Structure 1
Amino acid sequence: MNSSKSSSRTPFGFAKLPARSARWVTPLLLSVFMTCIVSLISTLKGVGLAPGVLRVWLGAWAVSWVIAFPTLLLVIPLVRKATAFVVETA
C-alpha cells in the first residue's frame, strides 16, 4: 500500500483538505467541541435530566456555535500574538 496515498485520506476515506485550510478548520473544530461541552453542562445544570432536555441542549448548542465560530475566526490571530508574547520560541 502506498503510504503517501493513504496519508492523504481521512480514516473515513475522504480526501484531506490542503494545509492552508487549517486556518479555518482549527476554529471550526474548536468551536464545535467547546460549545458542545459547555452548552451541555449549562443545559444540564439549568434544566436537569428533564423531558426534552436533548432538544433544549441542541438549541443552546446551535445558538452558541453560531456565535463562537465567527468569534474564534476574529480572535485567534490575537490569541496567537498574545501567546507569542508570553511563550518562548523553541
Structure 2
Amino acid sequence: MIPRKYSQVLFALILSGLMSLMVSGIATLRAVGPVADFGALWISAWLTAWLFAFPLVLVIAPLARRAVESLVAKP
C-alpha cells in the first residue's frame, strides 16, 4: 500500500492520466478520423498531454479547492 501522505499526488496522477487520455482520444479522433494507426497516434498524444497535465493538476487543484470553498455555504 502507498502511504497516505502521498494521496494528493496519487490523486493528481490518476485524475490527470484519465482526463488527458479521454481528451486526447477525442481530439485525435476529430483531427485524423478513424485511421489504421489511430491507437499509436492517440497514445503519443496522450503521453504528451499527460506530461503537461500532471504538474498542472498539482498546481491547479489547490487553487480550485480554495475557489470552491469560497463559493459554497459554510456549515
TM-score (norm: length of structure 1): 0.78
Q: How many residues align?
A: 75
User: Which one has the largest radius of gyration?
Assistant: 1
Deviations 1:54-74 (A, max 9, x none): 111111001100000001111
- Structure 1's unaligned 5+ residue stretches are 1-15
Aligned-pair identity in percent equals 33
* Structure 1 residue ranges (4+ consecutive) displaced by more than 6 angstroms after TM superposition: none
Q: Which residue of 1 aligns with 2:40?
A: 55
Matched, 1:23 2:38: no
Letter in 2 for 1:71: L
TM-score (norm: length of structure 2): 0.92
Q: Which has the higher contact order (CA 8 A, sep 6+)?
A: 2
Query: C-alpha separation between the residues in 2 aligned to 1:87 and 1:53?
Result: 42
After superposition, the CA RMSD in angstroms is 1.1
- Bigger drift between 16-25 and 55-64 goes to 16-25
Query: C-alpha separation between the residues in 1 aligned to 2:74 and 2:5?
Result: 22
